[in-house]
Amino acid sequence: MRKNNRKIMMAGAAVAAVFSIATIAAGEPKSGYLSAEPETQAMQDDDFSNPAMLVTDYGGDLWSTADGDSGKSCEDCHGDAADSMKGVKTRYPTYYQPWGKMINLELRINECRKDNQKAKAWKYESKEMLGMASYIGYQSRGMPMAVDIGGKATPFFTKGKEFYYERRGQLDMACSHCHEDNSGNMIRANLLTEGQINGFPTYRLKWSGVGTLHRRFKGCNDQVRAIPYERGSDEYVNLELYLAWRGRGLAVETPSVRN
Ligand code: HEC
Ligand code: HEC
């Protein structure tokens, strides 16, 4: 009891130190796009000025390049991605029977490489994975995010939700403290958004490059001086499921541009 009170007081102090005002976010989910600078929005709006399109195009090249012991390209089996991969991004993470747990798009791409293409898995944050995840995500642009959290997905959804509300790190803060209680407020030099995931992989000006959602998770864990998890870990995939549901209905913006 005493220990608990102390924890809450410490967290209160940390929150007061970083935020000027506190408001409660409510209503429909809002994309980070809405809080971006007009120049940043313009970069995303125009495929020719969107720096992430280079990476996405590279994914398109890989799509039609033969690889692995099958000697086949993705296209040889899946055909035109504009048809076969349309809407795929909107329903990931999804329950994956062979694992008995959830799988996200990046991990699913690697499963297919190993099982069907008979090729080596790509590193999670590699140029190849960023390219392919962006290219597949791009085929769902404008479509509403719509993950299924029923049936076998439910226990994983619950874990992801718990993670979201759990205090962690030296600052003892949960995701919700920044992205729910304080979205719309300034934190240091940044305007806090709802931390929605509909634009990933995303081009971040701060990264000068494209990064995965799990890279972002690590960055946000670092901000509160918490030990981050591995990209592709169960913890992050479950968290991704919760966030995909939280932003359900938001249009896919892959590849987005953010500060
Ligand atoms: C030899 C044929 C073959 C090749 C090559 C292949 N795939 Fe697949 N892929 C499949 C089949 C079959 C499935 C259906 C499920 C399964 O058995 O894995 C699938 C499923 C998928 C899915 C899940 C789709 C969904 O609706 O949820 C993704 C994503 C995917 N593949 C991506 C890729 C990518 C990216 C490549 C190239 C790097 C690739 N695949 C290469 C045969 C192939
Ligand atoms: C100390 C405050 C803080 C905490 C706690 C925090 N974040 Fe963030 N997060 C930020 C800031 C600042 C940004 C960049 C501005 C923005 O989009 O809000 C950001 C951005 C994001 C984005 C990118 C949004 C977009 O539109 O591209 C996601 C996703 C995100 N955070 C998820 C999380 C998750 C999940 C957690 C919990 C593990 C978390 N954040 C915890 C401060 C925080």
Q: Domain with 247 in it: what CATH number?
A: 1.10.760.10
Q: Which of 120, 138, 156 is the last residue of a domain?
A: 138
Q: Which of 138, 155, 170 is the last residue of a domain?
A: 138
What mean pLDDT is predicted for residues 187-191?
87
Domain coverage including residue 93:
54-138
* Residues comprising the chain, all counted: 259
Whether residues 85 and 34 share a domain: the answer is no
Averaged pLDDT of the chain: 92
Residue at 49 is within a domain = no
Closest approach atom of ligand 2 to CA 32: 26
Q: What pLDDT sits at residue 159?
A: 98
Ligand 1 surroundings by CB, under 6 angstroms: 70, 72, 74, 76-78, 88, 108-109, 112-113, 115-117, 132, 136
Ligand 2 surroundings by CB, under 6 angstroms: 32, 173, 175, 177-179, 187, 190, 192-193, 195-197, 199, 202, 216-217, 220-221, 223-224, 239, 258
Band (pLDDT 50/70/90 cuts) for residue 188 is confident
Quote the radius of gyration of the chain (alpha carbons, Å).
19
Q: One-letter amino acid identity for 158?
A: T
Q: What pLDDT sits at residue 158?
A: 98
Separation of 178 CA from ligand 2 center, angstroms? 7
CA separation for the pair 173, 226 (Å, rounded) = 9
Number of structural domains the chain divides into: 2
Band (pLDDT 50/70/90 cuts) for residue 26 is low
| CA-based nearest residue to 33, from 243, 185, 188, 259 | 259
Angle in degrees, CA 121, 217, 202, rounded to 5: 70
3-class SS of residue 225: coil
**Contact (Cβ atoms closer than 8 angstroms) between residue 192 and residue 134:** no
Whether residues 100 and 127 share a domain: the answer is yes
Please write the tens of the pLDDT for every residue from 59-108.
Answer: 999 999 999 999 999 999 999 999 999 999 999 999 999 999 999 999 99
End-to-end CA distance of the chain: 41
Please write the tens of the pLDDT for every residue from 129-183.
Answer: 999 999 999 999 999 999 999 999 999 999 999 999 999 999 999 999 999 999 9
